[in-house]
Amino acid sequence: MRVTLQSPASVVRSTLQDGVQLVSIHNPPVNALGAAVRQGLLAAIAQAEADAEVKAVLIVGDGRAFIAGADIREFGKPPVLPALPEVCQRIEACTKPVVAAIHGAALGGGLEVALSAHYRLALPGAQLGLPEVLLGLLPGSGGTQRAPRLMGVKAATELMLSGKHLNAQAALAAGLVDVVAEGDDPVAAGLAYVRELLARQAPVRPTSAEPGRLADKAAAQAELDVLRADTAKAARGLFSPLKIIDCVQAALDLPFDQGMQFERAQFLACLESPQRAGLIHAFFAEREVAKVPEAKAAAPRPITSIAVIGGGTMGAGITVSALDAGLPVTMIERDAESIARGRAHVEKVYDALVAKGRMAPEAKAATMARYTGSTRYEDIASADLVIEAVFEDIEVKKTVFRELDRVCKPGAVLATNTSYLDIDAIAAATARPQDVIGLHFFSPANIMKLLEIVVPAQVSADVVATAFALAKRLKKVPVRAGVCDGFIGNRILAVYKQAADYLMEDGASPYEIDAAVRAFGYPMGPFQVTDLAGGDIGWATRKRRAATRDPKARYVEIADRICERGWFGQKTGRGFYLYPDGARVGQSDPEVLAIVDAERARKGVVPRPFSADEIMRRYMAAMVNEGAKVVAEGIALRPLDVDVTFLSGYGFPRFRGGPMKWADMRGLPQVLADIREFANDDPLFWKPAALLEQLVAEGRNFDSLNQPA
């Protein structure tokens, strides 16, 4: 063995082993494709070409990954040559066989490097993907041109549109890799494969040289036409997905070199799109939310078993989340009938998976074996963590927590799933407030990603750390919230829902408002969401708050009039919309519009028209203004915590980055000017947040507050 080359900072190292140039990437932690790596790869291929002793090249990653993608430290900085397309082109043009041995992650540009090699081997733990769409981009170094040739149009395009990863066996079946080797040593497996290729005199095999699975152009075009139509419906205003479709079309229609030029042009167009800024903010914000003071200050308590109090929709969803994470769960209900119903709710989730072929009956049986139902609190005496999910009534919850205080072992974490209520008051019902925390799941709890971790005044730091560790185990996106009515998400929701109600009373129909919100990028408008959740839930909250409502504040009673008729949304067949024969998509209801007209007339409101733009200016101004108050009060640690709350739990369009990022991109002076304009009509509701005024005065934005916690 002799060392032939080391790149800058030795991030790419080459050694010659019996005629094989082993090119190893050493750029921990995940061998990201920084400038030094690109330079090193280019130099290594040039060295291999020039050295007569080299018969083939093997590219591997050191440590836990092949190449996990771009170097995020370069995001937003001027590009440094060589660009990755040049590196990939040089690898593919090598006159000696190049093999990529993939272990761990080969994602984005990392997979594009592998696609440029002539042969690909994967180890069992490999994960392959082209997830650029999640950042508002597309594969810009040949991925849109090479993957369809190897995998076919449908498989390659779905890989790029979904951002999902393939494991080694799935990649083999798709044609993305040539062989899956045993073991966990990419060097040993790669060298063995290279020697096998040399022994049978395997030729250099550039992916670009042959049409591969694009040979049947008519069939490929038919697949792409279906994908284009589906994507146009599903993308909801996203920029990069249809650009990916266009690039795959270019792979079908154009010679490879021209296809590469087209791909590059579309990649640069994506780079310039404002959606990229929003998506990259979302990407980083979701990684920052777990960085909270308590998680740094204390180690989490061990959690090996969980109890859930309540077997309704929420309790069952929480139970499924915990079972899916491999935890044993004991569910407590008040009587045998309720426990049977709770178990049925849990089994219904798994039965649906079995029916769809996504879970084997044996796997369901093994999962349900970790479930226990009981009516006795004493049966959870040894639980490490208990999550209460009973009716949203503080006296009911206090009663539950007194029972938990009586039976649970010392050091057990006691969590409440309340959506609005005062967790300090709930904790005070126990003799151990240091162990009480809020875990606010969103329904359906086994599907929704957001978990608000609500931190009461007396809770111990290790309990907060435990909650964040649990969120990671449950594959949730955790956001730290302080105690107030509604915490982060529901507190802000209540305010922008008020803005929507005011718009409705002033002249916009609920259907116009919902349409404007959907056009902005939300999957549903606020009145559709009310019907989905159940109008009676918001009605109960409004009645609970009635005694403390400011008598000077404007109050719209339209939703109350609808609820008084027993119209609670989808579950009753009508709410703001009609749902004939159990339909999931609502129809506009003339009787609702009559109720709206009657309420306007009763209050002397002369309706006026609103454009979609004005609807969204008011809707978003209310959201951002309350978000600024939440940050200023410390309910949210940073603006990015507000953003992640709405991205993960409220359907906020991801490409806009969250409400606070949207405000930054719109410009805080413009948002503040809107609020001041609207205050001419209602100065009590449209009172600008002091933090928003301060940031505008100082020429700063919300992102300037996104410092690590």
> Catalytic positions, please?
112, 132
Q: How far apart are CA 480 and CA 184, in angstroms?
A: 38
List of residues 6+ apart from 705 with CB closer than 8 A: 631, 638, 639
DSSP 121-184: EE-TT-EEE-GGGGGT---TTTHHHHHHHHH-HHHHHHHHHH--EEEHHHHHHHTS-SEE-SSS
DSSP 448-460: --EEEEEE-TT--
Q: How far apart are CA 346 and CA 351, in angstroms?
A: 9
At 581, is the secondary structure helix, strand, or coil?
A: helix
Within 326-484, where are the H helices? 336-355, 361-368, 394-407, 423-427, 461-473
Token pair, residue 487, equals: 């915490």
Within 392-450, where are the H helices? 394-407, 423-427
Q: How far apart are CA 460 and CA 455, in angstroms?
A: 9
Q: How far apart are CA 509 and CA 507, in angstroms?
A: 6
Token pair, residue 385, equals: 């963590």
> What secondary structure, in 3-state letters, does 222-241 show?
HHHHHHHHHHHHHCCCCCHH
Token pair, residue 128, equals: 């392959």
CA distances from 272 to 315, 349, 430, 507, 663 (A): 45, 43, 55, 38, 19
| 377 exposure class (CB count in 10 Å sphere: 0-12, 13-18, 19+) | middle
**Amino acid at site 225:** D
Q: With contact defined as beta carbons under 8 Å apart, do 145 and 250 qualify?
A: yes
List of residues 6+ apart from 91 with CB closer than 8 A: 41, 45, 59, 98, 113, 116, 117
Angle between helices 590-603 and 489-506 (to 10 degrees): 80
Buried b (16+ CB within 10 A) or exposed e, 295-306: beeeebbebebb
